[in-house]
Structure 1
Amino acid sequence: MASPTQPRECLVTKQDGKGFGFCLRIEKNEVGHLVRSIEKDSSADRSGLKDGDRVLTVDGIFVDEKEHTEVVDIIKKSGNSVTLLVLDEVAYENAKRKGEDLSKLSKTSAQPVTKPEVSQPPKKDEVQDSGPKPRICYLAKDGGSYGFSLKSTPGTSGIFLGSLAPNGIAAKAGVRDGDHIIELNGNNVENDSHEQITQKVKESGSIIAFLLADKETEDYFTKMKMKITADTATLEHLPSKPRTVDLKKEPSGYGFYLRQEKNRKGHFIMEIDAGSPAEKANLKDYDRIVAVNGASVETFEHEQVVDAIRKGGDKTTLLIVDQKTDEIYSKAGISPYLYLQELKKPEEQKEHTPAVIPAVTPAVIPAVTPATKPAAVPTPTPEKPATTPAATSPDPKHKPRLCQLQKGTSGYGFNLNAIKEVPGQYIKQVVKGGPADVGGIKEDDILLEVNGVNVEKDAYEDVIVKIKNAGGNLTLLVISQEAYDYFKSQKLPVTSSMADPLPKKETTPSNSEKAPTNKAKSVPEPIELAASPPPDVKSQDKQEKDDDTQL
């Protein structure tokens, strides 16, 4: 008799420039590796994954009893697609309660779950190689009209483009008579009325980006049971393209700074040195790096991009967009990383296989506070790869907080409490408007660090001494009880690098060969709590709260 516990096998394929479309989590008071935050219409959604599913195997490897970070690593190494064997929440909990051996559930017992409307969808590459594709068309006018009319047909859903002006803007942009409008400026409008689309065209001003499909393309996608989306479209009609740049490092580096600005999305090339490899490759300030050696870095933190470039050794290949190209792709609602799909020939794909880190686990990436740029050209030294510990939740409520306090006439404005025979200290009686309150300290916060020194296991009296010896200035790392329990349940240490960096004071680069590295010892900056960058990666304090690294 077959077991009532029937797992499902789900094949999930990575989206260009993105991840698999779901998060993998472990949660307090829950057992197993949980599937969460499934993106609508993503590969994960189409594969049949459900919120609360427990992952049993990854590409045939039983993972139910493995550590969470190990499971994440297995998925990361799976490439562009991964096969998951999962159980729904109720079946999993029942099996655990009955003591069933889940490792004996093989793939042959799995019941694939597919959605009828997109049952067993083909891979995107199959559509691109063998059939017609939708088009992304970018229309920009300078006065006058776009040279098209909006049309609707009784009994037929959707709005279509017609009455194209010969040599008009629309015709030159790749629009064809009878095209069905799928998206307008990156937003799906298939269910919009004629009036709604007319209004959106007017509101768009002098620039519009359409995702369009002619009848042949629509018929083909219907036959293949595929949904028409921007990541299945050809980009050949866009007026500006991303570009690939091959750089060979010289003794002084690549000759540019990599900057990540807090109020601007992306990783930008800045301050290009004269005669450097970057200048010879015609890189410009505010060129944005989309991919490094074939792998998308758009979702990476600053240190991760630096590490990706560093791993290339003495040469690296960057996918770059200038500001104009970036604006075009942004208007269309697509990533410039999709350009690689059309750019690469099969033999090139073997050489530069994209390896985007999948978005399968929430992560808090340690923030990096740059030091000051040294005036002298750094002497090349052997590179040592840096590793960055990552926690597993990006939820702001799970972040520790760095709080800077200046002692007032009545003290710091809080009491420190401890429970006998229980490690740790707790914040109590935060005075409203006092230094602690102003600095961001909250009632019942757990104290982790005092001026960069971990005090979790210190005796209460020792912590008091450290605070008194601070000289009137304190930098405390604190965390809520809920967040502290969360990290401890995952056996992850909490450090100041997980917190948002404190605002930095302006510093002036030194004219000597040594960069100033010592801050006032009573108020250490977050950089003193994190690992120092490798010798060949020098940091620059140029812009408040920005990450800026010389390469």
Structure 2
Amino acid sequence: MADPQDTTTLTLKFQFNPKLGIDNPALSLADDHLDSWGPQRPRFCLLSKEEGGRFGFYLHKELGRAGHIVRRVEPGTSAQRQGLQNGDRILGVNGDTVEHEDYCGVVRRIRASGPRVLLIVLAGHVEEAVRAQQPDGSRLCPVLDSGVRPRLCYVAKDEGGFGFSITHGKRGFFWLMLSCGGAAELAGVPQGARLLEVNGISVESFSHSQLSRKLRESGDHVALLVVGPEVEEQCRQLGLPLAAPLAEGWALPARPRRLHLEKGPKGFGFLLREEKGPSGKLGQFLWEVDAGLPADQAGMRAGDRLVAVAGESVEGMNHEEAVTRIRAEGHHLSLIVVDPDADSFYRMVRLSPLLFLEDAGSQAEGPASSQKLPSVSQGEDQASLSTDLASPLGVSTSLVPPALPSFRQCLLSPGPNGGYGFRLSCGADKPDIVISQVTPGGSASQAGLHIGDVILEVNGQSVSRENIFEVLQQLIDTKPPLRLRLVAQGRGSTEAWSSLEPGKDWIVPSERL
């Protein structure tokens, strides 16, 4: 029991269990389980990010309708290979229902999933028929019961080895037999669990000798993705694949940390720098944490990698975008970070740390600064980016745009991500449609759009509050370039504005993922 053993010579009898409804775990994932659902049932697409950091599709939001729609599946990408189709409606992300979430929330979920994401989708052409059969929509998106998930377990070898032996059926089907009180049991591995991955690598195509070699190469520690018999059976009944993004973490060696900072008289007290990490991939890293300042008091450590700002993933953002996102939070920052060891672990298992943040509990919380301190005055550091891509985040930068002429025309073409890079807002008591956000370096920014600009015309069509839905649809459907006629803030009638719905902006609803 000290190390994995070949137990194929043993005869293991699997008794029929009327509760589970199977008499052999090898049959719990029949190859035809997806076909049995038929065309009017949800499909499951497990996508992996390509070299460019994308899954290979656009997420679209139809104005005036619920749901999140797949558009423009890119040829040769993971999305196309896994059967995602134009017009599919996304019902769930990583096992959680998202039908009634707002559009931006679904985009954040997918981006926060990291290298892999499991989408539950329904073909657009059958949606109406399916909803007619189930008007309450209660069972459109299959969901696992609470606490019923695959497990990602980190097993540290002790004097008894890893504490399990292996039995297997056909190629790629392995089950773990645990020694009582051994390392695997202490790490949360269920008795009789099926092994799915070792250190982020699927064992689906492994022979027993290949698996044994992989485990030996792991040294004294190994990360196992496993699924217990009950979970496997429920996934089979729902048609859910046994996918890593569904996993919950057990005895993991490192957790993401949530830091809460309030800006003091000398700023936050850290430096953000874009550089390559140990994996060779670019990331946003935190350095020069000043002793006694808010970052230090919150538990930040030099070398931490920034994962999210205010719960929104910064994976894939360039340095300027990350800095802008942090500055937008003002005096109060909520950051999610990982130290180098945690960063290496999550990159090895090819999962985002954000998937395990909820499991982190109180240990993930860094000590927050309890003293509310004033910020420095505007304009103290006008050079927010230096040539080495470092940005001191202890001071404010003036964002006041230069004076602009009364009226002007701007011509926009889509950026590399397929979007134009701006948001729109409409005042609750004013008719103006204004630019409420401009992505730094995006198409809108390069064309000269500024926050507060009032849109007067889109491709020659006058814009008003009454035709906002038609205009937004035109922004989506029109062929580039997009021609806008604008008036600068202060030259039109808008002095202040809010969104059409409290706390929400109307955004051109198409994101490349």
* 1:328-347 alignment runs, 5 A limit: 328-342=345-359
3-state SS, counterpart of residue 226 of structure 1: coil
Distance 1:246 1:156, change over 3 A: same
Residue equivalent to 2:185: 171
- Alignment partner of 1:24 out of 46, 58, 65: 58
1-structure distance, mates of 2:76, 2:103: 16
Give, in angstroms, the shift of residue 162 of structure 1. Answer: 1.4
* 1:199-214 alignment runs, 5 A limit: 199-214=213-228
One-letter amino acid of the counterpart of residue 36, structure 1: E
TM value normalised by structure 2: 0.50
- Alignment partner of 1:35 out of 62, 68, 73: 73
2-structure distance, mates of 1:237, 1:393: 40
Q: Does the aligned pair in 2 maintain the 1:179–1:212 contact within 8 Å?
A: yes
Distance 1:391 1:385, change over 3 A: farther
Residue equivalent to 2:238: 224
* 1:366-515 alignment runs, 5 A limit: 370-371=386-387, 380=396, 392-393=415-416, 490-491=480-481
Distance 1:14 1:392, change over 3 A: farther
3-state SS, counterpart of residue 370 of structure 1: coil
Give, in angstroms, the shift of residue 9 of structure 1. Answer: 11
One-letter amino acid of the counterpart of residue 162, structure 1: M
3-state SS, counterpart of residue 267 of structure 1: strand
Residue equivalent to 1:146: 162
Distance 1:163 1:10, change over 3 A: closer
Between structures 1 and 2, the one with greater strand share: 2
1:247 and 2:265 are equivalent in the alignment: no
1:161 and 2:176 are equivalent in the alignment: yes
Residue equivalent to 1:4: none
Residues 78-87 or 315-324, more deviating: 78-87
One-letter amino acid of the counterpart of residue 211, structure 2: I
Give, in angstroms, the shift of residue 289 of structure 1. Answer: 1.3
Give, in angstroms, the shift of residue 220 of structure 1. Answer: 1.2
Distance 1:12 1:292, change over 3 A: farther
Q: Does the aligned pair in 1 maintain the 2:269–2:394 contact within 8 Å?
A: no
Give, in angstroms, the shift of residue 144 of structure 1. Answer: 6.7
2-structure distance, mates of 1:142, 1:85: 47
One-letter amino acid of the counterpart of residue 298, structure 1: E
Residue equivalent to 2:195: 181
For structure 2, the residue ranges without an aligned partner over 5 or more in a row are 1-39, 60-69, 92-101, 111-118, 133-138, 363-383, 403-411, 419-478, 484-513
2-structure distance, mates of 1:167, 1:22: 45
1-structure distance, mates of 2:192, 2:401: 55
Q: Which has the larger radius of gyration?
A: 1
Distance 1:390 1:159, change over 3 A: farther
1:289 and 2:323 are equivalent in the alignment: no
2-structure distance, mates of 1:377, 1:120: 46
Distance 1:276 1:172, change over 3 A: same
Distance 1:292 1:213, change over 3 A: same
Residue equivalent to 1:350: none
* 1:2-13 alignment runs, 5 A limit: none
2-structure distance, mates of 1:58, 1:231: 16
1:49 and 2:84 are equivalent in the alignment: yes
Distance 1:10 1:226, change over 3 A: closer
Q: Does the aligned pair in 1 maintain the 2:272–2:393 contact within 8 Å?
A: no
* 1:48-197 alignment runs, 5 A limit: 49-50=84-85, 53=86, 76=104, 108=128, 121-122=141-142, 126-127=143-144, 129-130=145-146, 132-141=148-157, 145-153=161-169, 158-164=173-179, 166-197=180-211
1-structure distance, mates of 2:151, 2:229: 12
Residue equivalent to 1:304: 321
One-letter amino acid of the counterpart of residue 160, structure 1: W
One-letter amino acid of the counterpart of residue 206, structure 1: D
Aligned residues: CA RMSD: 5.2
Give, in angstroms, the shift of residue 333 of structure 1. Answer: 2.3
Give, in angstroms, the shift of residue 257 of structure 1. Answer: 0.6
Residue equivalent to 2:250: 236
Distance 1:144 1:85, change over 3 A: closer
Q: Does the aligned pair in 1 maintain the 2:199–2:224 contact within 8 Å?
A: yes
Q: Does the aligned pair in 1 maintain the 2:187–2:250 contact within 8 Å?
A: no
Q: Does the aligned pair in 2 maintain the 1:292–1:317 contact within 8 Å?
A: yes
Give, in angstroms, the shift of residue 293 of structure 1. Answer: 0.6
2-structure distance, mates of 1:305, 1:377: 11
Distance 1:273 1:215, change over 3 A: same
Q: What percent identity do the matched residue pairs reach?
A: 30
Residue equivalent to 1:276: 293
Q: Does the aligned pair in 2 maintain the 1:17–1:296 contact within 8 Å?
A: no
Distance 1:159 1:326, change over 3 A: same
2-structure distance, mates of 1:16, 1:171: 31
Residue equivalent to 2:337: 320
3-state SS, counterpart of residue 246 of structure 1: strand
3-state SS, counterpart of residue 261 of structure 2: strand
Cα distance per residue 1:135-194 (max 9 Å; x no partner): 1111233787222212124x7971111142x44322222223311101111122134221
TM value normalised by structure 1: 0.47
Q: Does the aligned pair in 2 maintain the 1:242–1:336 contact within 8 Å?
A: yes
1-structure distance, mates of 2:392, 2:214: 54
